[in-house]
Structure 1
Amino acid sequence: MIRKPVVAGMFYENDFKRLNKQIEECFKGVKEANEKVKAIISPHAGYAFSGKAAAHSFSNLPIADTYVVIGLSHQGYFNCKSLADFETPLGVLKNDQYFTQELKLDVNETAHKQEHSIEVQLPFLQHVHPEARIVPILVSDHKGIAEEIVRVCKEIKRKIILIASSDFTHYGPNYDYVPFRDFVKKNLYELDKKAIEYILDLDKKGFRDYLNRTGATVCGKEPVSVLLDHAKLAGIKKARLLDYYTSGDVINDYTNAVGYASIVFE
């Protein structure tokens, strides 16, 4: 079974050569890989906006047996996995079927077919590791997911890297979130900075409490929470912010703006 791309030609180029060129442009000026990295946070917007931040995350991605890609369902589906291979204009990424089938999660191919939060990560993964195998998981409730991933890892002896798909605060009337109207760039940076500080401290409770307190619209709250649970279970001790900016910086318009961050975990 092959899951076809649904946002090629919208979020990123739908032609092999043009997509390769687009990704190479994103990687210009980005540092080489850090072999200690065990997990990353990467955004899932159109490459014209978030591609540079994604490149910072994926440039730090070492080789692993399997890449567990945690996305969110923008359509509201509950936690689910896909058994499909995922196709992009760069080719087909194989599903690590043995790993995926062992996970005690429902299969929901309809949810995965409609969702872009995993798909947008995959051309970057193919660019750095063309032979990568994936485990695609969509989450709407993080509880218990990291424990299940670690259980399967131990049982089948896989070296994994976890990829959490998340943009940061969505500001503006398009997102029904306008907590301030003046000094938008400064205030948006400050809002996301505090959320990121909790992530860098590996503090899931602090991160979630902060979002609940401020209403900050970090769409990948649940994937990030899975990653922070995984960090605790996997002995990850350190996180680093490699890049942060907003869509407002890209187009010089902050009427509606979304934050993008590259964070790696060692």
Structure 2
Amino acid sequence: MRPASEKTSVRPAAVAGFFYPADPQELRSEVARYLDSASSDSLRTPQGTPKALIVPHAGYIYSGRVAAAAYAAIAARRDTIRRVVLLGPSHRVYLHGVAVPRSDSFATPLGEIPVDAERRHKLIASGEVMSADAPHAQEHSLEVQLPFLQMLLGDFELLPLVAGTAEPAHVAAVLDAAWGDEETLVLISSDLSHYHTYDLARRIDGDTSEAILQKQITLTGEQACGAVCINGLLHLARHRPLDVSEILRMNSGDTAGDRQRVVGYGAFAIHEPASLS
């Protein structure tokens, strides 16, 4: 337990009011609506309850439907999950490797989520990650996931990680060290292709989806902004071994916006092979 005299630091919400509502009541209502509607989507249900998810991170009006589909896949684990390892790409700060923040908690309009200090310390001590607040300060790829987690789960701790340039084996080693047991959920935050026409995006994202399902570890930033993170997860999935399933795939032309410049979104589950689950 932290001494009462010790000061704590909070990473405040940076994109509330932009990517998602800043008003707590409106935010709760919007997230609940997406989660409720996920059951009506034509989803590919994973074989077994997922240990890890790949989830998009755009504004909720664009990617909320696909994100909710991913979270619906872990509804059965809501009373079990006590820790979330969340890894996304560093969009704003150049970074070589993987960074964990010094902040003690992350805030959204729905409250604060404590950072898993014990696992953070172990990762830093291992030399696999660096400690730095700057890559996290304005990063939206992690933040937009938090209200969904707050609505879906009970009390939980967060291990927030952002990746810059890094080899799949390095990212896999970080994830493996934080993998934990059934109380730990691993989330990779990534969108798919960016700013193509609707039909071209569907073709590109279809190829990317097939690569993910085949656990290829050569995805590029043109295919997914979180390619470094996904490649690391897939590298680990090869070695554990784990299966990958697609849950839902769309783009902004399906949800909001025109079809001349769309962004792709995909929800994927990583789970034990069907014969073992």
Instruction: Sort the TM-score into its range (normalised by shorter chain).
Output: 0.7 to 0.9
Q: Contact (CA 8 Å) 2:244, 2:269: kept in 1 or not?
A: yes
In the other structure, the counterpart of 1:176 is none
Runs of 4+ in 1 over 3 A off after TM superposition: 31-35, 151-154
* TM superposition score normalised by structure 1: 0.85
Once the two structures are superposed, what CA deviation does each residue of 1:4-62 show, in whole Å capped at 9, x if it has no partner?
00000110011111001010111233239976211101111000110010001111222
In the other structure, the counterpart of 2:153 is 129
| Offset of residue 152 of structure 1 | 5.0
Aligned residues: 245
| Offset of residue 255 of structure 1 | 2.4
1:202-217 alignment, distance < 5 Å:
202-205=215-218, 208=219, 211=220, 216-217=222-223
| Offset of residue 168 of structure 1 | 0.5
CA distance in 2 between partners of 1:240 and 1:152 (Å): 22
Percent identity, aligned pairs only?
A: 28
In the other structure, the counterpart of 1:181 is none
Once the two structures are superposed, what CA deviation does each residue of 1:223-248 show, in whole Å capped at 9, x if it has no partner?
11121123234331x22211111112
Q: Contact (CA 8 Å) 1:71, 1:164: kept in 2 or not?
A: yes
CA distance in 2 between partners of 1:232 and 1:83 (Å): 31
| Offset of residue 185 of structure 1 | 2.1
CA distance in 2 between partners of 1:46 and 1:194 (Å): 24
In the other structure, the counterpart of 2:65 is 52
| Offset of residue 158 of structure 1 | 7.8
2:95 maps to amino acid: Y
In the other structure, the counterpart of 1:248 is 253
What are structure 2's unaligned runs of at least 5 residues?
1-8, 272-277
Are residues 1:81 and 2:116 paired?
no
Once the two structures are superposed, what CA deviation does each residue of 1:126-182 show, in whole Å capped at 9, x if it has no partner?
11113121111100134212213323557xx7842210000010024xxxxxxxxxx
| Offset of residue 100 of structure 1 | 1.1
In the other structure, the counterpart of 1:151 is 177
Q: 1:235 aligns with which of 216, 223, 241?
A: 241
SS at match of 2:144: helix
* TM superposition score normalised by structure 2: 0.82
Single out whichever of 11-20 and 222-231 deviates more from structure 2: 222-231
SS at match of 2:121: helix
What are structure 1's unaligned runs of at least 5 residues?
173-183
CA distance in 1 between partners of 2:148 and 2:209 (Å): 23
SS at match of 2:158: strand
| Offset of residue 262 of structure 1 | 0.9
Are residues 1:201 and 2:214 paired?
yes
Single out whichever of 255-264 and 3-12 deviates more from structure 2: 255-264
Q: Contact (CA 8 Å) 1:168, 1:218: kept in 2 or not?
A: yes
- Give the superposed CA RMSD: 2.1
1:6 maps to amino acid: A
